[in-house]
Every structure is written in structure tokens, then in C-alpha cells.
Amino acid sequence: MNLSDGQLVELLRKMVTIRLFEEKIIDLYARGLIPGLAHLYVGEEAIATGVCANLLKNDYITSTHRGHGHVIAKGAHLKYMMAELFGKKTGYCKGKGGSMHIADVNIGILGANGIAGGGIPIAVGAGLSSKMRKTDQVTVCFFGDGSSNNGTFHEGLNFASVHRLPVVFICENNGYGISVSQKQHQAIQDISIRAVSYNMPGMTIDGNDVLAVYETSCKAIQRARAGEGPTLVECKTYRWRGHHEGDPNQGKRYRTMEEVKEWMEKCPIRRFEEKLVSEKVLTKMKAKKIWEEIEKEIEEAVAFANESSFPSPQDMYEDVYA
Amino acid sequence: MHEKETPMREITYAQAINEALAWNLEKDERVFLMGEDIGKYGGIFQVTVGLLDRFGPDRVIDTPISESAFVGAAVGAAMTGMRPVVEIMFIDFTTCAMDMIVNQMAKIHYMFGGRGKVPMVLRINIGSGRGAAAQHSQSFHAFFLHIPGLIVVTPSCPYDAKGLMNTAILNENPVIFVEHKKLYATKGHAPEEYYTLPFGKADIKRAGKDVTIVATHEMVNRSLRVAEEFARDGVDIEIVDLQTLCPLDKESILESVKKTGRLIVADEGHVTCGVAAEIAAMIAEEAVEHLHAPVIRVGSPNTPVPFSPALEKIFIPDEDDVREAINRMKQYM
């Protein structure tokens, strides 16, 4: 794999951006400044980052309820995201979508999705559309282990395979469908084996290793772009926070804190940063500076959101129909 | 434009829709068809017959029996520049794709604050009378009126079906195109050339001054037949064919009710929370002072559709039900 030092640092920068964005949400949510629901991606940053680093601006993604990482990695602006989370008119969805519906079709983000597995058929359709329009666009479909039990997963993979569509299915297996552990919700360990049923390649990788994610998804995306059909990539990972902010004690009702700690030791960012420092791609000082720069960027996004106006009552009635 | 055409050409309701689909496939490369058995088989009601041969398997796609996948795929394709027209074999099967219809297709434009649109047509059919029992005969199209973001179209004859389908494909929103299976084989005038009919504009199928019947689909035709009988008795009935339930042409309904003072609403769905219930409520709110009689709803009883011909016949709202409603109305004349 031939990633330049600049590209490697960019991977780190993206992961740090996602981490700090999410940590800011934890703080804002706890202080009651963000309404509604927020499902955070802390601990899973390597997946969105590694996958989206292979995508072009006009490639598509479909995202999930836990979507902040995906849309940041695909190029969404932090300030419009933050404004959306605040319910402000300047947000991506004019304050009408919130955390679970951030979308920007112009940069290929076909939406986060509040329904588990809801994005899968939509991703398949984007793939069908690219094929019909004879472009070489690829669609990446993110979803979790929980969604892999939904009918849309099976229907979507089947359809994509039958039509050899340029879709890459990225299963983020974080071990839990809300509070139900993978052991309780399916009788298999590796979700990638389900690819066999649909006659497509399937593989399971360490989702906390950004380079492994980059490399594996690179091959799958190239394959899709070449018209050779879909791939299922399962990335094993773990969510550090509860299902959503407000899930008591980070999910203590259904998992042990030892388990959480164990996975925090496998932090995808620390691991990658240490690697880059030890391989002299960047110095500790430079790494520190990255964190500081991004922190500042996020403060600017919060200020933008704070200063923005809420929608006016009349806005409620707009955009029902195009 | 059709008045000029001579001689009057007659085609079936199914052919009318087929012609509209073919014209759009021909003229707009973004348009494609998807559905179960729409290719070689020609569609369960033969609406897409011949289109596979003419346009090929890339644009007339036989899908797996997998409603969530192909309705959702149409949503994704519509968001990314295509204009899918999807056939669901029976309205009953929309339940298998309800997340895609209700949570995705209908709401994407709004949830995304206007960033992204879903210009697609979902063709479904309603109506009982074929002995197909409770899971292949339903008429719950009123359900879709409860979901903001959807357009709901209800053509009652070949002319309307063709013009409204052409409009549906041009529209930037998701359109639920509700066909009626008892109408597919019925013939009527429809010109060969392209034309569109506006959404949100009812068609007065018969002008009258004594009683208004607001009707949809086959109930329009049943009401037209009964109206001629009553005309001989001196009861002059006006028939308002809604054409689209959303947008709803409230003005035409109000105008007619203000003129006649008597309203019957006839729609094949269940009466409870149905199309007729909504229109009756609207009249109660906005024109009750013009009424000389209670509003009467004609529709299906609140039971699942029974199988036995002896029961199904009673289940279907037919000419007898319309006659009975008018006779009740006559007590207030």
C-alpha cells in the first residue's frame, strides 16, 4: 500500500476530527444544549475514515443513526453539522432532520438514517442508478451488526449481487444491537460469512486498524468501480459510549465496564498515532498540534451553531413537497 | 386536444397506462420500470406487456420477490438522478415495503431540509371482486393520505389514467399511483398523442343540481350508471371524480356541495378513517351550513375481504349501495 506521509497524517486528522466532534457532543448534550437523540461513533472512527479515504467526491454513501463519523469522513462541514444538531436553520437539513438525518446529496451523502437497515436498499438503488447512467461511481453502505438481521440486509445484498452493482457493504460490528449482544442476536460470529449466500466476496477485518480498513475497502471499492460487483466487509469494533447519549452509565445495564475498558485499550486513534510517531511520519509535537487545531475548528462550529437562528414557524410547512 | 381527434379511439385502462409508460421510456432515459413479473410475464394485470421487448431488460427490470429491496432501490435511484416507475403487484404487498415507503420515500425531501428529492412513481392496485380473498383484494389507499410527502392519484378511466401517469412521471415527488383492478379491462376514449392532466383538479364527470357524489375509481362509473336511472325520476346528480386524493381539490367539492346541499362520498376503501371520512370531516368543518341532509359514506364494510363469492358480492360497494344512499338522500329533498 502506497500511502504518502501526507495521506497517513490525513487519516489521523480525520479520526481525531470525528473523536473530538463526538466528545464535544457528549459535553453539549450533558449540558442540555443539544435536543433529541445523539448516537455517538467514539471508538469506531477508523472504519468511516479508512473507507471514505478511498472515495471520490461524487461517490455515494448511505449512513446510519450513528452517522456523524461517516458524514465527516465523506466531507461534511462541521459547522453545518453542528448547527443541525442544535436544530438551527443553518444546519444541513435546515433544522428539520437532526443528528439522524444529516445529508448532502451534492457530496454524495444520501443521508444518515433513523431506521436500522433503512439505508441498505437505498444504497443498492444508488448503485443501480450509477450503473444505468454508466458512471463509475461507487456507493458505500454503512450499517451495523444489528441491521444484518433485518430483511433489508438480505434483500439488499441479494439484489445488488443479482445485478452486480457497484456497492460496498460495510458492516460495523460493534457487538451490540442497542443493548442486545451479538451472541444473543445471531448464531454466527462473523457476519461476513453471509456474503456466501449472495455469491459475493466477504471478509472480516479489525475495524480498529485504520490501515487494514483502508486497504480492504480499497480493493472492494476498486472491484465495484471496475463493474465486478458488490463486496461485504465486516469491521469488528466497539462503541465506547452507550447506545445513545442518555443510555445510563454507558450501557452498564447490559455490558461490563471491564469489557468497555478492554476495548478502550484498543483505541484506533492512539494506536495509529503511536505507529506514525514511531515510524517518524510525524513528531509528538505535530500530533499534539493536530488535536489542538481540530479542537479550535470544533469550537468555531459550536459558535456558528450558537449564533445561528432557529427556524421560523413557517419553515415547518416548507419542503414537504419538492 | 382530444376533441379534435377523429374517429374516437378506444383503449383499455391497462393499455392507457402502458402507452404512458412507453412514451416516457422512449423520451426520457432516466425513466425505468421495476417490479415483480413485469417483464416476460407483462405484469400481473398485463399493464407492462411488450415493454421488455421494446426497451430491454436494463430498463424493464424483473425483480426478486423482495419489495423492500426494489422499492428502496427506486428511492436510491430517484435520489441520484433517475425516474423509476415501480409496480407493486397488489396494494396488499406494500406492507412488505412500508418502511421504504413511509419512513424513506415520503420523508427524505423534508428530513433533508429540501436537499435531495425522490421523483418516483409507485404503481399499486386496489379493488376486490376476483375471489382473491383478504390479502390480494384490499383497498387501503387512504392509508397513504396519512403520510405527508406522498401524492396519491386515483384514475377512474383510460383517458384519466394516461394523462395522470404522464403527469406523475414528470412530478418531482413520490407519487402513489393507485390503479383499480376491475378497471384494467374496461375501455374508453384516450387519444394516441401525449397529454397530461393536472394534479389537484377534480373532474366533474356529470353535472347536476340535487345531490353531489364525490367518487373515486370504479365508484365513479358505478355512480354514473345509477345517476342515469335517477335522472329519469327527476333527481339530478353531480359526480365529482377527485382524480388525485392528495393534492385534494377542496374547491371543486365545496363548490358542488354548496350548489346541491347534499353529499354522498363513494370510495372502495373501508369506511372507517377512509377517503369518505376525510371528505365528510372537511365538509363538516367548512360547509356544514350548506347541507340539507346528513353526509352519507359509501364504501367497504369494516371486515377483511371475504373469499366466498356469496360474501364478496355483499362486501363490494356497488350500484345497489349507491342507489340506497341516494334513496336515503331523497328523504331530505
User: Which helix (DSSP H) or strand (DSSP E) does residue B268 occupy?
Assistant: strand B263-270
Q: What is A5-307's CATH superfamily?
A: Thiamin diphosphate (ThDP)-binding fold, Pyr/PP domains (3.40.50.970)
What are φ and ψ of residue A320, in 5° steps?
-70, -40
pLDDT along chain A (322 residues), means of 10: 93 98 96 93 98 98 98 98 98 96 95 96 98 98 98 98 98 97 97 98 98 98 98 98 91 95 97 98 97 98 98 97 98
Q: Are residues B16 and B110 in the same domain?
A: yes
What is the model's pLDDT at position B2? 52
User: Per the CB < 8 Å rule, is B113 touching A93?
Assistant: yes
The number of residues making up chain B comes to 333
Cβ atoms of A205 and A235 within 8 Å: the answer is: yes
Alpha-carbon distance B65 to A268, whole Å? 41
Whether residues B222 and B183 share a domain: the answer is no
Helix and strand numbers, DSSP H then E, in chain A: 11, 7
Q: What gap in Å lies between CA A265 and CA B292, rounded to an integer? A: 78
Q: Among residues B2, B109, B136, B146, which one is catalytic?
A: B136
Is the residue at B197 inside a domain?
no
Q: Which cell numbers in the block locate residue A186?
A: 445471531
Q: Are residues B236 and B160 in the same domain?
A: no
Q: What are the backbone angles phi and psi of residue B11, rounded to the nearest 5°?
A: -135, 170
- In Å, how far is A294's CA from the nearest CA of chain B? 26
Query: Quick check: is B196 in a domain?
Result: no
- CB of A320 within 8 Å of a chain B CB? The answer is yes
Report if residue B302 sits inside a domain: yes
Pairing of strands A231-236, A202-206: parallel
The secondary structure element, H or E, covering residue B252 is helix B250-260
B244-246 and B151-153 strand pairing: antiparallel
CB pairs under 8 A between A and B: 148
> What pLDDT, on a 0 to 100 scale, did the predictor assign at position B4?
54
CA-derived radius of gyration, chain A: 19
- Which position has the higher pLDDT, B5 or A242? A242
Asked whether B238 and B144 are in contact (CB, 8 A), the reply is no
Instruction: Check residue A2 and give its pLDDT.
Output: 82
Q: What interhelical angle do B275-286 and B250-260 show, nearest 10?
A: 70
User: Which of B29, B34, B110 to probe by mutation at the A interface, max A CB count within 10 Å?
Assistant: B110
What ipTM does this complex have?
0.96
* B220's grid cell: 365513479
Q: Identify whether the C-beta of residue A249 lies closer than 8 Å to the C-beta of residue A260.
A: no
Same domain, B273 and B211: yes
Which of B158, B189, B220 represents a domain boundary (last residue)? B189
Are B107 and B242 in the same domain? Answer: no
pLDDT of residue A249: 84
Whether residues A103 and B115 touch (CB distance < 8 A) is answered with yes
The number of angstroms, rounded, from the C-alpha of A231 to the middle of its chain's C-alpha atoms is 17
Q: How far apart are CA B193 and CA A146, in angstroms?
A: 52
- pLDDT at residue B1 in the model: 46
Residue B198, in any domain of the structure: no
Alpha helices in B116-243 (DSSP H): 158-170, 217-232
Pairing type for strands B296-300 and B237-241 reads unpaired
Cβ pair A64, A44 in contact under 8 A = no
Are B88 and A291 a contacting pair, CB within 8 Å? no
Domain total for chain B? Answer: 2
pLDDT bucket at B8, cuts 50 / 70 / 90: confident
Q: What is the pLDDT of residues B72-109, one digit of tens each?
A: 999 999 999 999 999 999 999 999 999 999 999 999 99
Looking at the fold, whether B266 and B139 belong to one and the same domain comes out as no
| pTM, to two decimals | 0.96
Asked whether the beta carbons of residue A318 and residue B148 sit closer than 8 angstroms, the reply is no
Looking at the structure, tell me whether residues B40 and B181 fall in a common domain. yes
Give yes or no: residues B166 and B213 share one domain: no
Domain of B281, in residue numbers? 203-330
Active site residue B136: yes
Element (H, E) at A286: helix A284-307
Residue B60 and residue B181 in one domain: yes
A86 CA to centre of own chain: 20
What residue segments make up the domains of chain A, in order of their start?
5-307
Quote the CA–CA distance of B230 and B233 in Å, as a whole number: 5
CATH number (domain holding residue B87): 3.40.50.970
Q: Phi, psi (5° rounding) for residue B131?
A: 65, 30
Four-residue CA torsion sign, A184, A188, A190, A191: negative
Domain's final residue, options B132, B160, B189:
B189
Residues of chain A in contact with residue B106, where contact means CB-CB under 8 angstroms, are: none
**In the prediction, which pLDDT does B277 show?**
96
Q: Which residues of B touch A91 (CB under 8 A)?
A: 113
pLDDT tens, A205-263? 999 999 999 999 999 999 999 999 999 999 999 999 999 998 988 899 999 999 999 99
Q: Give the Cα separation of A267 and B210 in Å (integer).
A: 78
**Residue A243: predicted pLDDT:** 96
CB contacts of B78 in chain A (<8 Å) are 125
Q: Point out which residues pair with A235 in neighbouring strands.
A: A172, A205
Which of A122, A141, A316 best probes binding to B when mutated, by most B CB atoms within 10 angstroms? Answer: A122
Of residues A132, A134, A234, the one with CA closest to residue A189 = A234
d(CA B198, CA B247): 10
User: Which residue does chain B place closest to A111, by CA atoms?
Assistant: B112
Strands B187-189 and B10-12, sheet pairing: antiparallel
The shortest CB-CB distance from B100 to any of A93, A103, A121 is to A121
- The DSSP result for B225-238, as a single string, is HHHHHHHHTT--EE
DSSP state, residue B57: T
Distance, CA of B37 to CA of A294 (rounded, Å): 54
Give the separation between CA B107 and CA B176, rounded to whole angstroms: 14
CB-count exposure of residue A57 (10 Å: 0-12, 13-18, 19+): exposed
Residues B145, B228, single domain; the answer is: no
End position of a domain, from candidates B132, B163, B189? B189
Nearest CA in chain A to B147: A320
Same domain, B223 and B315: yes
Work out the pLDDT band at B6, boundaries 50, 70, 90.
Answer: low
Hey, are the CB atoms on A132 and B76 less than 8 Å from each other?
Answer: no
- Using CA atoms, how far apart are residues A45 and A26, in angstroms rounded to an integer? 16
DSSP run (H or E) holding B67: helix B67-79
| A101 at B interface, C-beta within 8 A | yes
- Give the per-residue pLDDT at B3: 53
Residues B274-295: b if buried by 16+ CB within 10 A, e if exposed: bbbbbbbebbeeebeeebebeb
Shortest distance, CA B42 to any CA of chain A (angstroms): 20
Task: Give yes or no: residues B118 and B54 share one domain.
Answer: yes
